């Protein structure tokens, strides 16, 4: 459900325009790891394993969008480039009901991600994520193995 909410924040900040599934997958990663990309503090911890998240994210984002669609919070429309997702007319009111501090952080990161990356092509975003994943894997493998911790 949280992944769906993150997608809804992204779509609301892109309103009245939409995103395709690939863009939402990459932008979702930008939302939760904004600190890695020069944005607001990351919503999720900065663990070395975050580099592998993109591998499963597409399915999870797709499921989250399905839940949002069934609730009438997301509209789906065909375009020349494929299927696009849009925040529905009810999305803003729903998101206003989320008053937890975590929701505020998600909203801030989503606003930053849309402002910073929405104009980039899917290929540009993939290249950016590829560079970031390469850096993260290098950090993970550069940790000395076998050293005693005092």
Rounded CA separation 53/80 (Å): 29
Around Cβ 97, how many Cβ atoms within 10 Å? 7
**pLDDT at residue 124, rounded to an integer:** 81
8 A C-beta contact, residue 28 and residue 6: yes
Predicted TM-score (pTM) of this structure:
0.82
- Angle (CA) 39 44 45, round 5°: 100
Residues forming beta bridges with residue 74, ordered by sequence position: 87
- Angle (CA) 28 31 33, round 5°: 105
8 A C-beta contact, residue 20 and residue 84: yes
Local confidence pLDDT in tens for the 150 residues of the chain:
889 999 999 999 999 999 999 899 989 989 998 988 889 998 876 655 555 566 678 899 999 999 999 999 999 999 988 899 999 999 999 999 999 999 999 999 999 999 999 888 777 877 877 666 655 545 444 444 454 544
**pLDDT at residue 75, rounded to an integer:** 97
Domain spans, the chain: 2-141
Residues forming beta bridges with residue 85, ordered by sequence position: 19, 76
């Amino acid at each position: 459900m949280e992944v769906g909410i993150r997608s809804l924040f992204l779509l609301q900040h892109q309103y009245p325009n939409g995103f395709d599934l690939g863009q939402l997958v990459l932008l979702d990663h930008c939302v939760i790891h904004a600190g890695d990309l020069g944005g607001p503090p990351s919503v999720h911890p900065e663990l070395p394993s975050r580099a592998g998240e993109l591998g499963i994210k597409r399915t999870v984002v797709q499921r989250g969008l399905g839940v949002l669609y069934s609730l009438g919070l997301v509209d789906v429309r065909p375009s020349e480039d494929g299927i696009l997702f849009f925040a529905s007319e009810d999305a803003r009111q729903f998101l206003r009901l989320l008053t937890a501090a975590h929701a505020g952080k998600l909203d801030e990161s989503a606003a930053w991600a849309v402002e910073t990356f929405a104009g980039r092509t899917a290929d540009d975003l993939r290249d950016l994520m590829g560079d970031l994943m390469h850096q993260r894997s290098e950090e993970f493998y550069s940790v000395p193995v076998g050293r005693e911790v005092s």
